[in-house]
Structure 1
């Protein structure tokens, strides 16, 4: 596992907030020069810590305003779960799938354009071999969602970062 120091964590936090930040701006935020930041970012990319950069699209602007979480129960046999897992990989509406421990087998995050689209998605999931039940919850308001998915360090004030 890659060893990350406090400056690495601060850079990762800043990049999760704005992946288009310049190396100079990042350097100013953490107390390093632009070339030092460039070297750190390249290292983090080559070590697989940074897996890529992407645009954050407002789901409502592309007809996917309805967010739901779907708990899915399945039979225990791995062979019978393959159709479900294949469906999930191909579905445009399912944006996250987590294999979980406990009462449920999976938790999905889905984005659809309407309750009718969600109903159709649920019907498709329930019809898959090995699926025994679904329980869905529709998101009314998202209070917190961390871009990039990892909570790291709080950015430090300019000039406070360690050298590098």
Structure 2
């Protein structure tokens, strides 16, 4: 006799339900994503209360969002000024031939704690590097290292009226 074979569950329809977007996020997912982005320290019981689900259901939803890659991590947002970094700046870099984001010298530079973001972009420049520095002397030190990789253009941040607002899934 043959072995018993488990019948797989029916696969979910490829069409989203009426309350879902084409990206597969329903209204509860959207609420959870907004809440964890704006109030990341909420307890599971409070998240559940706000979205009208049990803590167990919220845990399962969050696990699914993490597994899918929609949630990539959790962390605290800090104020650079309170940590001694009085200046934030964007450095646009047009690298010399041979330098790319995987070059050992570039990788070494990106390890510096002052470099908070690096973006590979299309346009006149290839990279946009965001830095937080204590003062202009500190900025000059960073610029010397970055300038060794290519031509740079620097913009100092005066204010940031919009900072890390929640990003909802695309509605289509």
TM-score (normalizing by structure 2):
0.76
Cα distance, 1:38 vs. partner?
A: 1.6
2:144 corresponds to 1:123: yes
**Is 1:146 the equivalent of 2:164?**
yes
- 1:42 matched to which residue of 2? 63
The runs of 5 or more residues in structure 1 that have no matched partner are 154-164
Q: Deviation above 4 Å: which 4+ runs of structure 1?
A: none
- Which residue of 2 is the match for residue 158 of structure 1? none
Q: 112-121 vs 58-67, which deviates more?
A: 58-67
Measured after TM superposition, the shift of residue 83 of structure 1 is 4.3
Alpha-carbon shift at residue 34 of structure 1 (Å): 2.2
Deviation track 1:47-77 (CA, whole Å, cap 9, x = no partner) reads: 33222211222212221231101111113x4
1:67 corresponds to 2:88: yes
- Could you tell me which runs of 5 or more consecutive residues in structure 2 were left unpaired when the two chains were aligned: 1-22
Give 1:97's aligned residue: 118
| Aligned twin of 1:109 | 130
Maintained 8 Å contact 1:84/1:125: no
Contact 2:99 2:106 (C-alpha < 8 Å) held by counterparts: no
Q: Which residue in 2 is equivalent to 1:21?
A: 42
* C-alpha contact (below 8 Å) 1:88/1:97 kept by paired residues: no
The TM-score with structure 1 as length reference comes to 0.79
Q: Secondary structure at 2:99's aligned position in 1?
A: helix
Q: RCO (CA 8 Å, sep 6+): is it higher in 1 or 2?
A: 1
User: Of the two, which has the highest radius of gyration?
Assistant: 2
Deviations 1:94-126 (A, max 9, x none): 110001001001011100111110011101111
Aligned counterpart in structure 1 of residue 99 of structure 2, from 73, 80, 84: 80
- Shift in CA distance, 84/105, structure 1 to aligned 2, threshold 3 Å: farther
How many residue pairs were aligned? 145
